[in-house]
Amino acid sequence: MKVHYFPSPEATNTLSTEELRARFLIGGLFQPGAVTAHYTDLDRMITGAAVPTTAPLTLPTDKELGTSFFLERREIGILNLGASGTVRVAGTAWDLGHLDCLYIGLGEKDVSFTNGSAGQAQFYFVSTPAHAKHPTAVVRRAEVRTEPIGDPAKANRRRINKLIHLDGVKSCQLVMGFTEFEPGSVWNTMPPHTHSRRTEIYLYFDVADNVVFHFMGEPTATRHLIVRDREAILSPAWSIHCGAGTGAYRFVWAMGGDNQVFADMDPAPIATLQ
C-alpha cells in the first residue's frame, strides 16, 4: 500500500509538472489479478482497485492501517467499472453489473472479489474511516434516476449520479457517485468550488484515447494535470477540482470529511480564477 502526503498550497505552486503529477495523480490502479491500494492524508481516505482473474482477491491488511483487517475501523464504497463480477461479504454474494455500486460498513472482516463469466470485472473502491456501522447495501445502475444540470451552450450539461449519500445508501462519512455527460458537453464541475470541510478523490474513466485537462490548485493560483483513462486525482480541501476533456468521459467522485452534505461547498466564481 502506497502512502501519499500532500504539500501545502504554497509548496504546490513551486512544483514542476513531474512533481505535481507525483503528488496528486495516481495511475496503474487496475492491475489484472491484483489489488492496488493508496493511503492518503486526505481525511485518511484509501483508494484502489481489484481486478480478479482466475482466483479471488481480498482487501489488503497492510501495517499502514494499524488494524488487524481492512474494515475493522473503516467503511468502503465499490463501483464496478467492468463486466459483471461478485463481491462476497461475510459469505453473502453480491453480484455487481457494470456501474453497480456496493457499500460495505464498519467491521466486515471477510470481503473478496471474483470475476464473472461475461468478461473482466474491474472494481474501483474508496474507503474512509468510520465510527458507526451501517448495513451492506447495493445501488444498481438501472435504479439511479437523476436530472441533468448545466448548460449545453457552455458544454457542461451533465448528470450527477449520487450512490452513497444522505438520501440514498447510508454511510458513516463516505459520499460517492459518478458524473456523466450529454453529447457535446466536456466540462465538469464548472464553475468550480472548494470545500474546506471535506476532501475528494476523482477517478476519470471511459476516457478512451482522449485526455482530460484537470484543473487544481487555489482559485487564484490554478495548475493543471493531463489525465488519461482510469487515472485518479487527489484533491485537498483547498484545491479546486474541475476539468475538460478532448472527448467523452465519465468520472467517479468520492468525499470524506466533517459532513455528508453534497451542497456544502465554497464557490470559486469563474471571474475570480487565475
Whether 233 and 225 have beta carbons less than 8 Å apart is answered as yes
Q: Show me where the domains of the chain are located.
A: 2-141, 148-272
Per-residue confidence (pLDDT) for residue 257, from 0 to 100: 86
* Lowest-confidence segment of 170-184, 189-203, 235-249, 257-271 by average pLDDT: 257-271
Is residue 239 packed enough to be buried (19+ CB in 10 Å), middle (13-18) or exposed (0-12)? buried
- Binned at pLDDT 50, 70 and 90, residue 236 comes out as very high
DSSP letter at 169 equals: B
Question: Which residue(s) pair with 212 in the sheet?
Answer: 227, 245
Residue 272: half-sphere exposure toward Cβ, Cα within 13 Å:
11
* CA–CA distance, 151 with 181 (Å, rounded to integer): 11
Amino acid identity at 144: V
CATH fold group of domain 148-272 = Jelly Rolls (2.60.120)
Average pLDDT over every residue of 126-131: 97
The answer to pTM > 0.85 is: yes
Max CA distance (Å), the chain: 54
Which one-letter DSSP state was computed for residue 241?
A: -
Q: What percent of the chain has pLDDT over 90?
A: 89
Residues 176-212 have pLDDT tens digits of 999 999 999 999 998 899 988 889 999 999 999 999 9
Q: What is the pLDDT of residues 59-81, one digit of tens each?
A: 999 988 999 999 999 999 999 99
pLDDT of amino acid 259: 84
pLDDT for 260 beyond 90: no
The class level of CATH for 2-141 reads mainly beta
In 207-238, which positions are buried (b, 16+ CB within 10 angstroms) versus exposed (e)?
Answer: beeebbebbbbbbeebbbbebebbbbbbbbbb
Report whether pLDDT(20) > 90.
yes
Q: How far apart are CA 88 and CA 46, in angstroms?
A: 20
**Concatenated DSSP letters for 63-93?**
GGG-SSSTTSSEEEEEEE-SS-EEEEETTEE
